């Protein structure tokens, strides 16, 4: 990891959590009776939520995790099971329980939606609200060709880990309204600066279930079938409608499961909605937190 760049652009000290013989790191800022738990996807890290920390840590405890293999967390070279969806979920559950988090609002993006919602279901009494940004929590309705190409045996890994074709491309292709700032580009890429440090990016791509024989297929299928049980929990859906990955079909699926959800559709924003439309996203979060307060 380019620690110098990461510390300069994201000047928050990470706390440590030991799980399964490895160290996960997370940002823990602010105080308050409620916690915003920020769960990132692939290929981002807790840096993606820096604006949330800046804006809401005065009134809330804001906790942003780095999944194993991501951000400042350890990046072990272990077997595939270490980086599967269920393992990420179980480590997040362990962190939630270890910190004894209460009155938690989940904020999740990309793979963080599935991981965060699955952890929420296992620790449900601790949560009172849900906020999602361009994500999914069910069997993917489609796999974009550009992601399928990253799954080609041997060649896909060479591209993702060797040529940085996934994280490197994301800083361009996940935006629509505007180009990503140099500050954000450097920050998002800082932890993924060599072959070894890109292991989780590659494993996340390979963990997308293409058929029912995939180890994660059953987990995502079960999660999707359970989403309706969360319909009464206050929820916010903020969507960049020009996302080519978690397209509007994914938003419509959540809306069908949670008919009372508050939805904010940003017509010209892409997948990195909090980067592409920061004011709209943060203002929507602020309004929702006030409107849904106990």
The reported pLDDT for the residue numbered 60 is: 97
- Identify whether the C-beta of residue 270 lies closer than 8 Å to the C-beta of residue 240: yes
Query: Which of 31-35, 97-101, 196-200, 265-269 has the weakest average pLDDT?
Result: 31-35
Where does residue 56 fall: left (phi above 0), alpha (psi -120 to 50 degrees), or beta otherwise? alpha
Mean pLDDT confidence for 201-207: 95
Q: Helix count (H) and strand count (E) of the chain?
A: 13, 8
Mean pLDDT confidence for 218-238: 98
pLDDT band at 2; cut points 50, 70, 90: low
Residue 7 clears pLDDT 90, i.e. is over it: no
The reported pLDDT for the residue numbered 294 is: 73
C-alpha span between 281 and 186 (Å, rounded): 22
Mean pLDDT confidence for 118-137: 98
pLDDT band at 14; cut points 50, 70, 90: very high
Mean pLDDT confidence for 5-17: 87
Using a CB cutoff of 8 Å and minimum separation of 24, what contacts does 56-60 make? 56/30, 56/285, 56/286, 56/289, 57/29, 57/30, 58/30, 59/30, 59/32, 60/30, 60/32, 60/34, 60/35, 60/36, 60/105, 60/289
pLDDT band at 142; cut points 50, 70, 90: confident
The reported pLDDT for the residue numbered 188 is: 97
Residue 32 clears pLDDT 90, i.e. is over it: no
Mean pLDDT confidence for 172-183: 96
CA gyration radius, the chain? 17
Q: What is the pLDDT of residues 280-290, one digit of tens each?
A: 999 999 999 99
pLDDT band at 101; cut points 50, 70, 90: very high
Helix intervals (H) in the chain: 3-9, 50-56, 85-98, 111-122, 145-148, 155-157, 167-173, 182-189, 199-206, 217-226, 248-257, 273-276, 278-291
C-alpha angle 267/268/272, rounded to 5°? 105
In angstroms, the Cα distances linking 74 to 3, 219, 258 are 13, 25, 36
Q: Where are the domains of the chain?
A: 3-291
The reported pLDDT for the residue numbered 6 is: 65
The reported pLDDT for the residue numbered 78 is: 77
C-alpha span between 46 and 166 (Å, rounded): 18
Residue 151 clears pLDDT 80, i.e. is over it: yes
Residue 242 clears pLDDT 90, i.e. is over it: yes
pLDDT band at 210; cut points 50, 70, 90: confident
Across the chain, mean pLDDT equals 95
Question: What would be the CATH architecture of the domain defined by 3-291?
Answer: 3-Layer(aba) Sandwich (3.40)
Q: What is the pLDDT of residues 50-67, one digit of tens each?
A: 999 999 999 999 999 999
Residue of 183, 167, 163 whose CA lies nearest to 6: 183
Mean pLDDT confidence for 10-37: 95
The reported pLDDT for the residue numbered 1 is: 64
- Identify whether the C-beta of residue 164 lies closer than 8 Å to the C-beta of residue 185: no
The reported pLDDT for the residue numbered 263 is: 98
The reported pLDDT for the residue numbered 4 is: 62
């Amino acid at each position: 990891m380019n620690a110098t760049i990461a510390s300069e652009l994201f000047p928050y000290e990470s706390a440590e959590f030991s799980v399964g013989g490895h160290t996960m790191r997370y940002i823990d800022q602010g105080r308050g009776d409620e916690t915003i738990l920020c769960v990132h996807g692939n290929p981002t890290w807790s840096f993606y939520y820096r604006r949330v920390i800046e804006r809401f840590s005065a009134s809330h405890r804001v906790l942003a995790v780095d999944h194993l293999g991501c951000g400042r967390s350890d990046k072990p070279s272990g077997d595939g099971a270490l980086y599967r969806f269920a393992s990420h979920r179980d480590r997040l559950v362990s962190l939630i329980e270890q910190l004894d988090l209460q009155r938690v609002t989940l904020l999740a993006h990309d793979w963080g939606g599935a991981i965060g919602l699955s952890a929420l279901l296992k620790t449900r009494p601790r949560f009172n609200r849900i906020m999602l940004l361009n994500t999914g929590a069910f069997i993917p309705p489609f796999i974009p060709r550009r992601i399928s190409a990253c799954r080609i045996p041997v060649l896909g890994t060479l591209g993702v880990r060797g040529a940085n074709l996934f994280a490197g491309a994301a800083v361009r292709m996940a935006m629509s309204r505007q180009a990503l700032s140099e500050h954000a580009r450097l920050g998002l890429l800082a932890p993924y600066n060599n072959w070894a440090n890109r292991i989780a990016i590659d494993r996340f791509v390979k963990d997308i279930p293409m058929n029912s024989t995939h180890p994660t297929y059953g987990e995502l299928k079960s999660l999707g079938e359970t989403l309706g049980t969360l319909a009464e929990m206050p929820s916010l859906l903020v969507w960049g409608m020009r996302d080519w990955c978690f397209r509007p079909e994914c938003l419509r699926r959540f809306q069908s499961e949670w008919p009372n959800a508050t939805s904010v559709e940003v017509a010209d924003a892409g997948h990195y909605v909090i980067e592409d439309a920061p004011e709209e996203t943060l203002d929507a979060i602020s309004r929702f937190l006030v409107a849904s307060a106990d």
